[in-house]
Amino acid sequence: MPRCGDCQRLNLPCRWPSDHQSSRAGSRHAPSSVSAASETPEVLSPQTTSSDEGRSSVEELPVVSSRGSRSLGMRLSPNCSWNPHLQTSEDRSLFNHYVHIVARALSRSSDLDGNPFIATLLPIAATSDTVTNVILGLSGGHWRRVYPNIWNRALTRQGKALSQINRLLTLSDPRSTFEACTAVLLLCLTELFDGTSRVWKWHLKAASAILKSLPMDSLASKSEWNFCISLFHYLDAMSTISSCKPPLLHSDSTIEDFTALLASRTPPEPLPESKGSIDAIYGISPALFDFLGMVNLLADHRNRRVDELSEIGFRTAAAHLESQVDSWRSNQDHITDTPLTGPAKEVAAATTAFEWAIRLRLHQIVEGYDPSHEKVESSIQRILAAVLEIPYGSKVEGCLLFPLVIAGASSTDMERRMFVKERLMVLENTLGFRHIQYARPLLETVWEDEPYGEGSGRGPNWAYVRYSRFPGVVFV
């Protein structure tokens, strides 16, 4: 039997004959799959009576089908089923869009039941106007490209959240601090996905300070804490690629600290209770994001190679990092020594693409950007071969933006460039976040810029491209 909210949304009269008859009788009323780039607010806005004003039930929301998924609406707990902080029809449209499109696009796990962007955030939003405001802002940022008018309402709610966060931070109880932390992390995510913003840096620094505050200690090891800390580590690692700056966690590390850290460290294993958040946020091994942060920490030190001794220290640190990646890969091959199929095979392919993007990035930092180098060619081959194994619409498709941009920027072959462009165009529509649409123009600028183009014998000048024309692009 279709959900009543679906029929209301589509303005269809209820013609369900009886409970005992076949569900096929109502199949003509079921909503079809909706692309992230083709929706309209009317499609996702349930009709409500006057008594329902200010209250939107997830049980009444339309369910957008996705490959291999079931209805989210039927599995949400009672605490997730409504939100009393929605004031207008635009609020409800934004909320619906978040539940059925944005939350799914954010999650990189095939386990929809364990999607923390639903299971963790919606109960919090039901009791927090601040978190609701940020969720609506994130939803509006995602919808902005195809429905720009909704952005005004989303921006109003987002601005309201900023003042509410300031008030929450004046309180000392753990719950208020946790709400503020969650809201700040989501604001950071919203700004990163904008693609042109620099504000995300301040949000990330604020989240770091809140996570270290005393009230947050009482929440350690709880699912909400695991979600926040996983999201923070993810954003901290991925944001470094646009700035060539170290992660906040290692912002004061010297090259000697860096070398000692790599010589003694092993990638931490996630706690069992946090695995759901980690799978949904990262999609692939968190160790790779840790390596990415280390690569960009190394990048921050490359301009300090002023003599032979500093050059030796720099290359020693790079060799330690490459050895860490090699050891990690050896362990991965030992664990996955049997043929993989389905989602597990897609995760393995995304892992390979990301791994070789990191290796290519490390090579560029140490040796430069010559596209004819043997290491560059082998890395590009492995990245693009892995991407080919991942079908359109895969849950781990969001992990491909960084590998595609890194491989595309170093490609001189036209066929490879067209492959990368085509896959980025797909990402623009299947994921729909604004920062993705800036990746293609960035690559075209790299390819067309004469001093760094095909046949010049030189690779892309990332500093020129990033800071001169694309100041806020982040390859999350």
Q: Is the pTM of this model over 0.75?
A: yes
Which pLDDT belongs to residue 138? 95
pLDDT value at 15 more than 80: no
| Under 8 Å between Cβ of 165 and 212 | no
The tokens for 255 are: 């090259």
Which pLDDT belongs to residue 339? 77
pLDDT value at 82 more than 80: no
Cα separation, 30 vs 262, in Å, equals: 54
Query: Dihedral, CA atoms, 168, 173, 176, 182, nearest 10 degrees?
Result: 110
Cα separation, 369 vs 29, in Å, equals: 56
Which pLDDT belongs to residue 433? 87
Find all residues with CB under 8 Å of 362, minimum gap 6, and list them.
Answer: 295, 298, 318, 321, 322, 325
Find all residues with CB under 8 Å of 387, minimum gap 6, and list them.
Answer: 349, 353, 400, 403, 404, 423
The tokens for 260 are: 């000692």
Find all residues with CB under 8 Å of 193, minimum gap 6, and list them.
Answer: 138, 141, 142, 433, 434, 435, 476
Q: By mean pLDDT, which of 65-69, 191-195, 472-476 is the weakest?
A: 65-69
Query: Dihedral, CA atoms, 296, 300, 302, 307, nearest 10 degrees?
Result: -140
Which pLDDT belongs to residue 96? 93
| Under 8 Å between Cβ of 158 and 134 | yes
What confidence tens digit (pLDDT) does each residue in 346-367 have? 999 999 999 999 999 999 999 9
SS3 56: strand
Cα separation, 178 vs 138, in Å, equals: 19
pLDDT value at 39 more than 60: no
Mean pLDDT over residues 387-416, rounded? 92
The structure tokens 């309209």 sit at 40
Transcribe 182-205 into DSSP letters. HHHHHHHHHHHHHSS-STHHHHHH
Which pLDDT band, with edges at 50, 70 and 90, does 14 fall under? low
Give the number of other Cβ atoms within 10 Å of residue 227's Cβ: 24
Which pLDDT band, with edges at 50, 70 and 90, does 247 fall under? confident
Backbone angles phi, psi at 386, to 5 degrees: -70, -40
State the burial class of residue 362 (Cβ atoms within 10 Å of its Cβ: 0-12, 13-18, 19+): buried
Mean pLDDT over residues 380-384, rounded? 96
Between 58 and 5, the more confident residue is: 5
Cα separation, 132 vs 295, in Å, equals: 36
Mean pLDDT over residues 456-472, rounded? 47
Which pLDDT belongs to residue 354? 95
State the burial class of residue 149 (Cβ atoms within 10 Å of its Cβ: 0-12, 13-18, 19+): exposed
Between 469 and 382, the more confident residue is: 382
What confidence tens digit (pLDDT) does each residue in 172-225 have? 888 899 999 999 999 999 988 887 778 888 998 999 899 888 888 777 767 778
Strand 82-83, strand 56-57: pairing: antiparallel
Mean pLDDT over residues 58-68, rounded? 31
pLDDT value at 422 more than 60: yes
Which pLDDT belongs to residue 468? 40
The tokens for 39 are: 């929706």
Give the number of other Cβ atoms within 10 Å of residue 183's Cβ: 29
| Under 8 Å between Cβ of 224 and 278 | no
The tokens for 187 are: 């604001």
| Under 8 Å between Cβ of 121 and 83 | no
What are the residue ranges spanned by the domains of the chain? Answer: 83-214
Phi-psi bin for 457: left (phi > 0), alpha (psi -120 to 50), beta?
left
Bridge partner list, 83 = 56
Question: By 3-state DSSP, what share of the chain in percent is helix, strand and coil, each rounded to 5?
Answer: 65, 0, 35
What confidence tens digit (pLDDT) does each residue in 84-139 have? 999 999 999 999 999 999 998 998 887 777 788 998 899 999 999 999 999 999 99
| Under 8 Å between Cβ of 56 and 95 | yes
